[in-house]
Structure 1
Amino acid sequence: MRMILMGLGVVGRSFLRTLIEKSPELRLKYGLNPTLVAVADSSSAVQDERGLDPKEILDLKVRKGSLSGHAREVGMRGVELIRGVDAEVLIDVTPSNFKTGEPSLSYIKAALNTGKHVITASKGPFALEMPALIEMFQESGLHLLFSGTVGGGVPFVRFVRKCLIGERVLAIKGVLNGTTNYILTRMEAGLSFESALREAPGTGLR
Structure 2
Amino acid sequence: MEFKLAFIGFGTVGRGLMELLLQKQKDLQQTAGFTYRVVAIHDIILGTLMNEKGVNGRTALDLAAEEKSLKNHPDFVKQADAGHVITSTGANVIVEVTPTNIKTGQPAVAHVELALTNRKHVVTTNKGPVALAFHSLKKLADENGVEFRFEGTVMSGTPVFHLCETGLAGARTKRIRGILNGTTNYILTQMEKGIAYEEALRDAQQKGYAETVPHADVLGWDAKAKVLILANVLLGAH
Report the TM-score when normalising by structure 1.
0.88
Aligned position for 2:4? 2
Aligned pair 1:122/2:126, yes or no?
Answer: yes
Aligned position for 1:139? 143
* C-alpha distance 38-15 of structure 1, shift in aligned 2 (>3 A): same
Seq. identity, %: 34
Equivalents in 2 of 1:85, 1:154: separation in Å? 30
Aligned position for 1:35? 37
Conserved 8 A contact 1:19-1:54: no
Conserved 8 A contact 2:117-2:144: no
Equivalents in 2 of 1:203, 1:5: separation in Å? 25
Aligned position for 2:167? 163
Q: Secondary structure at 1:119's aligned position in 2?
A: strand
Pairwise CA RMSD: 2.6
Unaligned runs of 5+ in 2: 218-238
Cα deviation code 1:87-135 (max 9, x no counterpart): 1100011000122211211111111122110000001112221111111
Unaligned runs of 5+ in 1: none
Equivalents in 1 of 2:66, 2:114: separation in Å? 31
Cα deviation code 1:31-60 (max 9, x no counterpart): 332110000112310011100121111111
The code of the aligned residue for 2:22 comes to: I
Q: Secondary structure at 1:99's aligned position in 2?
A: coil
* C-alpha distance 162-171 of structure 1, shift in aligned 2 (>3 A): same
Q: Secondary structure at 1:175's aligned position in 2?
A: coil
**Number of aligned pairs?**
206
Q: Secondary structure at 2:74's aligned position in 1?
A: coil
The code of the aligned residue for 2:86 comes to: I
* C-alpha distance 132-60 of structure 1, shift in aligned 2 (>3 A): same
Equivalents in 2 of 1:140, 1:203: separation in Å? 39
1:188 offset after TM fit, Å?
Answer: 9.3
Equivalents in 2 of 1:2, 1:108: separation in Å? 16
The code of the aligned residue for 2:202 comes to: S
1:193 offset after TM fit, Å?
Answer: 2.6
Conserved 8 A contact 1:7-1:93: yes
Aligned position for 2:75? 72
Equivalents in 2 of 1:146, 1:56: separation in Å? 27
The farther-off stretch of 28-37 and 105-114 is 28-37
Bigger radius of gyration among the two: 2
Equivalents in 2 of 1:18, 1:188: separation in Å? 37
Aligned position for 2:17? 15
The farther-off stretch of 23-32 and 4-13 is 23-32
